[in-house]
Amino acid sequence: MKGEQKGEGGGNLKRLLIIDDEENMRHMLSSMLRKVGYTVDEAADGLDGLEKVKAVSYDFILCDLKMPNMGGMAFLEAIRDELGTLTVIVMSAYGTLDTALEAMKQGAYDYISKPFKPDEVYLTLKKAEERERLKRENILLKERIEKIKGSFHFWGMVAKSAKMHQVFQLAQRAAQYDTTVLISGESGTGKELVAQGIHAAGKRSTMPFVTINCGGIPESLLESELFGFRKGAFTGADRDKKGLFEEADGGTIFLDEIGEMPLSLQVKLLRVLQERELRPLGDAKTKAIDVRVIAATARHLDEEVRQGTFREDLYYRINVFAIMIPPLRERTEDIPLLSRHFIEKFSIGMNKTIQGISPSAMSLLLGHAYPGNVRELENAIERALVLAESDAIQPENLPPDWGNRPGAGLVPSAVFQGYSIKEAQKATEKELITKALIATRGNRTRAAQLLEISHPSLLSKIKEYGIVA
């Protein structure tokens, strides 16, 4: 660290500069401060001190205000750019309160009136050291928060789970290149948000991001929407029209629900992807395009290929870099973070000051199966904010059927992946323990009572399941 030297005992010695035109004062302060662990240099006036500051990094400076050649105020002015990393304490026998205030306006940390007791100087320096320590800790804390925040976010998406961190890492990697990406996941998991993030984090971010839902446009119109047409190409084509691929030239086109695309158009899309050129309807000429393609689907395209409803060659052409977004029920640890994110998002528009979610409401949020995934949670939080009358979301603010349907909140994610009763029991125990800890705000004794098990048994299960309590 700046200005530190190792002492004989292995400790760090703070480097200090004394600037005073009185030799006796310099000698007295130097002797005293060396005894308490400082490495001390001396300067006879501000000009001498300025030269030393240019040559050596100091932690602290004791500077007299009234000196020949260059006084303390002029010295402070001369080192103004260095005051962010230097701590200057001014001294004067002629000072008044106004002088002290003026010195601190110029950037001095503190002011000592002469004559002073040795302890007064030492205590002032110790107070300055404590301030510097707190400043360093605050910087480290901010860096840590930014690091954590960065790991929880990806271009508008927030998550805490390891599964979503992997998704974020893959998306960040994909953003560096023009490789075609296929994003898979159930409806409502955030496939378009990931696609937008890949575009925004890449070199095409200043160019268009064009979205089309391949299942939301009639087959008769989809071709002209994608590739455009020329005037007279068909009845009603009274002008030339650019297709979405041409609109996205230089940027990214997002083909949402590509599994819904009719077979007749799949071969034409394949040709565009392979040749990097298109031919609008009614045009005899092809046109070169430079478009990055990101596709998404809620279907299992490999199964669609086996059934003959999706072209195998197109599947392999778009499945170059695959990203699978897990459903929300498989990453319930993301629910509290997502809920807070949506509260912040909607509170601003509604001009409400909702502070959080009650434990009982959070229990319902954690227990819901989320067939609509993140989109369903977002809608539930928006509804809750409309109905909330206190500073926290309550159970009655959530959709009325939540927690009342058979098995709601009691079907663990493991059940969706297999048939093992033993594994299902473990998953159920983990979810119930997590819910109890949230409901009791981490009070393990109370949680054990809710779960109707002993406190030692709860501690054992917390450790076994790796629950963060």
Residue 148 lies in a domain: no
Tokens of 372: 């609509």
Angle between helices 162-175 and 191-200 (to 10 degrees): 40
Residues 198 and 84 in one domain: no
Residue 53 lies in a domain: yes
Is 231 in contact with 273 (CB distance < 8 Å)? Answer: no
Instruction: Give one word for 389, left, alpha or beta, with left for phi > 0 and alpha for psi -120 to 50.
Output: alpha
Which one is predicted more confidently, 5 or 116? 116
Least confident of 71-75, 81-85, 461-465: 81-85
Q: How confident is the model at residue 10 (pLDDT cuts 50, 70, 90)?
A: very low
Which one is predicted more confidently, 139 or 345? 345
| CATH number for the domain that contains residue 91 | 3.40.50.2300
| Cα separation, 246 vs 78, whole angstroms | 60
Does 31 have pLDDT greater than 50? yes
Residues 185 and 283 in one domain: yes
Give the DSSP letter string of 171-188: HHHHHTS---EEEE--TT
Residues 310 and 255 in one domain: yes
Place of tokens 């008769």: 220
Residues 132 and 257 in one domain: no
Least confident of 123-137, 300-314, 359-373: 123-137
- Stated as kind and residue range, the H or E segment containing 157 is strand 157-158
Least confident of 165-169, 183-187, 366-370: 366-370
Which one, of 263, 250, 251, lies nearest residue 222 by Cα?
A: 263
- What value does the mean pLDDT of the chain take? 85
Place of tokens 């059934």: 307
The three-state secondary structure class of 278 is strand
Residue 228 lies in a domain: yes
Which one, of 130, 39, 136, 17, lies nearest residue 85 by Cα?
A: 136
At 52, which amino acid appears? K
Which one, of 316, 198, 192, 296, lies nearest residue 251 by Cα?
A: 198
Is 158 in contact with 343 (CB distance < 8 Å)? Answer: no
Least confident of 124-133, 250-259, 308-317, 335-344: 124-133
Place of tokens 């998704």: 167
Residues 46 and 92 in one domain: yes
Which one, of 72, 54, 70, lies nearest residue 112 by Cα?
A: 72
Rounded alpha-carbon distances, angstroms, from residue 214 to 80, 82, 127, 184, 219 = 62, 60, 66, 15, 9
Could you report how far apart the first and last alpha carbons of the chain are, in Å? 37
What are 126-130's contacts with CB under 8 Å, separation 24+? 128/60, 128/87, 128/89, 129/14
Residues 100 and 170 in one domain: no
The three-state secondary structure class of 244 is helix
| CATH number for the domain that contains residue 312 | 3.40.50.300
Residues 171 and 320 in one domain: yes
How many residues in total does the chain contain? 469
Neighbours of 133 (CB within 10 A): 10
CA dihedral defined by 360, 364, 366, 368, rounded to 10 degrees?
Answer: 180
Best mean pLDDT range from 93-107, 265-279, 451-465 = 265-279
Residues 314 and 353 in one domain: no
**Domain boundary residue among 105, 140, 175?**
140
Residue 207 lies in a domain: yes
Which residue range forms the structural domain that includes residue 113? 4-140
Segment 37-44 mean pLDDT: 93
Q: What is the pLDDT of residue 144?
A: 57
Strand partners, 296: 183
| Cα separation, 276 vs 115, whole angstroms | 83
Place of tokens 């004989």: 8
**Domain boundary residue among 301, 326, 351?**
326
Residues 363 and 437 in one domain: yes
Q: How confident is the model at residue 8 (pLDDT cuts 50, 70, 90)?
A: very low
Q: What is the pLDDT of residue 6?
A: 38
Does 238 have pLDDT greater than 50? yes
Segment 415-438 mean pLDDT: 70
Residue 67 lies in a domain: yes
| CATH number for the domain that contains residue 453 | 1.10.8.60
Is 298 in contact with 341 (CB distance < 8 Å)? Answer: no
Least confident of 126-135, 334-343, 379-388: 126-135
**275-314 tens-digit pLDDT:** 999 989 888 889 999 999 999 999 999 999 999 999 999 9
Q: What is the pLDDT of residue 173?
A: 95
Rounded alpha-carbon distances, angstroms, from residue 382 to 122, 194, 362, 373, 404 = 57, 22, 15, 15, 20
Residues 369 and 270 in one domain: no
Q: How confident is the model at residue 419 (pLDDT cuts 50, 70, 90)?
A: low
Q: How confident is the model at residue 114 (pLDDT cuts 50, 70, 90)?
A: confident
Rounded alpha-carbon distances, angstroms, from residue 131 to 5, 86, 127, 145 = 20, 12, 6, 21
Domain count, the chain: 3
Instruction: Give one word for 257, left, alpha or beta, with left for phi > 0 and alpha for psi -120 to 50.
Output: left
Q: How confident is the model at residue 120 (pLDDT cuts 50, 70, 90)?
A: confident
Tokens of 381: 């939080």
| Cα separation, 432 vs 441, whole angstroms | 14
Q: What is the pLDDT of residue 409?
A: 42
Is 338 in contact with 370 (CB distance < 8 Å)? Answer: no
Does 416 have pLDDT greater than 70? no
Residue 117 lies in a domain: yes
Residues 59 and 134 in one domain: yes
Cis ω on the peptide bond leading into residue 336 (within 30° of 0)? no
Residue 319 lies in a domain: yes
Dihedral sign for Cα atoms in the order 52, 53, 56, 61: positive
Neighbours of 20 (CB within 10 A): 25
Residue 189 lies in a domain: yes
Residues 167 and 301 in one domain: yes
Has this prediction a pTM greater than 0.75? no
Place of tokens 């002029």: 74
**Domain boundary residue among 326, 341, 359?**
326
